[in-house]
Chains A and B, each alone.
Chain A
Amino acid sequence: MIPSEFEYCRAGSVEEALDLLAQKGPDAKILAGGHSLLPAMKLRLNSPGAVIDISGIGELSYIKEEGSHLVIGACTTHGDIAKSTLLSEKIPMIVEAAAEIGDVQVRNKGTIGGSLAHADPAADWPASLLAGEAEIVLASSSGERTVAAVDFFQGLFTTDLGENELITEIRLPIPDAYTKSTYVKFEQPASRFAIVGCAASITRSNGSCDKVRVAFTGVSSTPFRDQAVEQALEGQAPSDDNIEAAAEKAAMSVEVMGDHFASQEYRKHLAKVYARRALQAVLS
């Protein structure tokens, strides 16, 4: 399958990419790992007039500690994140999510920024970024702004990203030593996209769950933090009964998707099962 014709522009720096975005206007598309854009272009679901290739911008590929945050450059591949010892020590659910995306070849090309911009409802990243209270840095030729992940995802393939904006960085607050996290998913067996993906991050003190963050992807058209589950467990002891009761509240407040992989009813059931598994794994 051959995409329709386009003008190819290679950006060597963030500044160049932003200039090109401003210059080429809404008919231009950013190309990062290409693992969502190329399939769409081959099917001609997307036929941009210009493609701005940011995959060679070295300054957008990094994982580092910056004060109270861990920061990840937008062009960092899923594969590099999956191998990060810094992230696996501090926020394990991020590494677990990365390692579960597609297969090695997909992870060698696909980037975190590309996945966020694409906002596939079955993408893995949103759950752990929501549970990790991540912020997303967006740049345009008129400046930079930071958006909380919870405000970034707005619907099916829809985000807060403006037409002339570039995702440059993902920022994650470093949790304290009493916080544990995990990401678990029920995957589509061929592509490994999430039918249900659940991330949980829990801070414990004095035998109770102080702060609980639980988020889902794949369940609804927009990834979401599940406050009903969180509130049911916050302030409680991490007992099996309390976990079970909290997990039972999963996906109550959203419209659950149904498709040929999993009906609405089955997905809702899976959300409860995966909430329980995530909570158990974190609290065990």
Chain B
Amino acid sequence: MKEITVTVNGVEHTLEVDPRLLLVHLIRENLSLTGTHIGCDTSNCGACTILLDGKSIKSCTVFAVQVNGKNIATVEGLAADGLHPLQEGFKETHGLHCGFCTPGMLMRAVELLEKNPNPTEEEIRWGISGNLCRCTGYNNIVRAIQYAAAKMRGDELPVTDPEFV
């Protein structure tokens, strides 16, 4: 066992971990933050996406012991101060159906908008290409991110009339 100290959503935790424990299991089981989902467990689907020192990564493909001294943000930390603009966007534009991919989509979109506050539709689509959604057909997810981008820039909000496809 190895001792690690990690800051998750602003709270510092010191834990004993087996080196083979995956980061996603540390988050879900040791810290009971079950918003981060396990989808494919092969780093293809993106459901387990979290931010590690501000960068989106797939937490099924990192060992927990590797995050010693680092900062992690999960979906639970987004709504610290009311709904995050991205969460509001997903709600307003029907950016989710079953919701399984949503936490990963949200965390990926957080980094995307931080690096690129005014992305084109194509940039959004490429930006979330490591996150699979089997329900929405992506259109409303793209709109949700456009909604959040506009809100975060302080621009007029796009009309939130979703296309049900």
List residues of chain A with CB under 8 Å of any chain B CB. 1-8, 10, 31, 34-35, 38-39, 41-42, 51, 53, 55, 79, 102-106, 108-109, 190-191
Contacts and interface: CB of A to CB of B under 8 A. Distances in A.
Interface stretch (B5-13, B53-61, B93-101, B141-149): B53-61
B44 A42 contact: no
Given A190-B44, A191-B44, A34 B130 contact: no
A106 B131 CA distance: 11
Those 7 A-B pairs whose CB atoms lie nearest each other, nearest first: A103-B130, A8-B19, A108-B55, A105-B130, A38-B61, A3-B20, A105-B58
Contacts of A51: 19, 63
B127 interface: yes
A38 B63 contact: yes
Contacts of B22: 2
B62 interface: yes
19 contacts: A5-B18, A6-B20, A7-B19, A31-B63, A34-B66, A38-B43, A38-B63, A55-B66, A102-B130, A103-B129, A103-B130, A104-B111, A105-B43, A105-B46, A105-B49, A106-B43, A108-B55, A108-B56, A191-B44
Contacts of A4: 20
Main secondary structure on A side of the interface with B: mixed
Interface in B39-79: 41-44, 46, 49, 55-58, 61-63, 65-66, 68
A34 B44 contact: no
B61 A34 contact: yes
A115 to B, nearest CB: 15
Contacts of B134: none
B108 A42 contact: no
Given A8-B2, A103-B130, A106-B130, A2 B57 contact: no
Interface of B: 2, 18-20, 22, 41-44, 46, 49, 55-58, 61-63, 65-66, 68, 108, 111-112, 127, 129-131
Contacts of B65: 8
Nearest to B132: A190
Given A2-B20, A5-B20, A38-B61, 17 more contacts: A1-B41, A2-B22, A5-B18, A6-B20, A34-B61, A34-B63, A35-B61, A38-B62, A39-B42, A103-B46, A103-B131, A104-B129, A105-B49, A105-B108, A106-B130, A108-B56, A109-B62
Interface centre among A1, A3, A79, A108 (most CB of B within 10 A): A108
Nearest to A5: B20
Contacts of B68: 10
B2 A104 contact: no
Contacts, number: 71
B38 to A, nearest CB: 10
A102 B130 CA distance: 8
Nearest to A42: B41
A78 B136 CA distance: 30
Nearest to A190: B44
A104 B61 contact: no
A20 to B, nearest CB: 14
Nearest to B19: A8
A3 B43 CA distance: 15
Interface centre among B46, B49, B57, B127 (most CB of A within 10 A): B57
A42 B21 CA distance: 11
B56 A39 contact: no
B116 to A, nearest CB: 11
Contacts of B46: 103, 105
A192 to B, nearest CB: 8
A44 B46 CA distance: 22
A103 to B, nearest CB: 3
A97 B42 CA distance: 23
Contact of B108 (A31, A55, A104, A109): A104
B63 A8 contact: yes
Nearest to B70: A56
Nearest to B25: A2
B107 to A, nearest CB: 10
